[in-house]
Structure 1
């Protein structure tokens, strides 16, 4: 049975482990190894995670089954001072994908978003990420394209901005 818990800074090693296991599988056919390494360091260093948790107001959830952590999500209510909940990250271990854990995380975040008076959930997803079909299947729609320069080595994120109206 799946269960959720709110993550704290003591869970950062678990979050980093999942990111390091997931990113090469998710992005290996999309990004260079160098860019994956750069982005993992940029987004998942202890400093970056602490800043997200303590200064940016991101909340982290861990999803577990039988005591084993399968994945995590991070989100933020009132994103950019709007009535929107932002799904910043959601990653599941490759062996956990397709078992309902991602839907469980998103359903939970949707319920929390409604409780916090959000009218929508927004996210960005790489244009070539296989998760794009998952997001469409559960009601997210593409509302814009966004290329984000990362300021190093010419790396950029080529994303769709997606939204689900609640």
Structure 2
């Protein structure tokens, strides 16, 4: 059935690609079509995005309290992302040991909805969400370093914003580690605005939000 779903996705991608060519569009999102068609057929939530002419199928999985395999996957993504930021940007706020990371992940599962994003059979990204009053918060959005620049971050942001709307939240918010200029720029380019500052025991963070 998965092959059938992917085949339908390929047809949809071709149609969108033709539209993109005709109207000279750079990027088209076909997530809503796939959610309604392929998701119904094969019984899982699939999202298809056309990014620079390449069709990519992502699957979202929620990590439960007793899903130790999923928690290990989240830990691995955060660990590798933390090491990459430490080496490339000299940012050490996520540069933790596997053990410390795993403990953090377990506590996060207790208070947040934690998700894994996979491409085919490979887990490539993670993020966490929580509704606080009328606000929809997210945190720890990370993808594997080797997958950076392939549109996964945008996919996660789009997914988070759709989750917010489905929960009747008109505003999405999060914090960015203050020295992380590349992360700040990423969110600014996606419509998020700086709304203040906050401090943890060790770090200073920039509060950002977006009105949907």
- One fold, TM greater than 0.5? yes
Alpha-carbon shift at residue 31 of structure 1 (Å): 4.0
Matches within 5 A, 1:62-101: 62-77=116-131, 79=132, 82-101=133-152
Alpha-carbon shift at residue 159 of structure 1 (Å): 1.1
Alpha-carbon shift at residue 50 of structure 1 (Å): 3.0
- Report what 1:26 is aligned to: 85
Alpha-carbon shift at residue 135 of structure 1 (Å): 0.6
Change (3 A) 1:26 1:127: same
Q: Secondary structure of 1:118's match? A: coil
- Report what 2:173 is aligned to: 122
Contact 2:63 2:109 in 1 (8 A): no
Deviation digits for residues 117-137 of structure 1 (CA, Å, limit 9, x no counterpart): 112111001122211111111
Deviation digits for residues 49-87 of structure 1 (CA, Å, limit 9, x no counterpart): 333323x2x11111111211111001101x2xx200111
Larger relative contact order (Cα-Cα within 8 Å, sequence gap ≥ 6): 1
Alpha-carbon shift at residue 115 of structure 1 (Å): 1.0
Residues 1:13 and 2:72 are matched in the alignment: yes
Alpha-carbon shift at residue 32 of structure 1 (Å): 5.0
Alpha-carbon shift at residue 147 of structure 1 (Å): 2.2
Contact 2:136 2:169 in 1 (8 A): yes
- Report what 1:157 is aligned to: 203
Change (3 A) 1:36 1:125: same
Alpha-carbon shift at residue 20 of structure 1 (Å): 0.9
Q: Secondary structure of 1:37's match? A: coil
Q: Which structure has the bigger radius of gyration?
A: 2
Paired residue total: 151
Runs of 4+ in 1 over 4 A off after TM superposition: none
CA RMSD of aligned residues (A): 2.2
Residues 1:4 and 2:60 are matched in the alignment: yes
Contact 2:116 2:127 in 1 (8 A): yes
Contact 1:20 1:40 in 2 (8 A): no
Contact 2:85 2:91 in 1 (8 A): no
Contact 2:172 2:210 in 1 (8 A): yes
Distance, in Å, in 2 between the alignment partners of 1:51 and 1:32 is 20
User: Gapped runs of 5+ residues in structure 1?
Assistant: 150-155
- Report what 1:53 is aligned to: 109
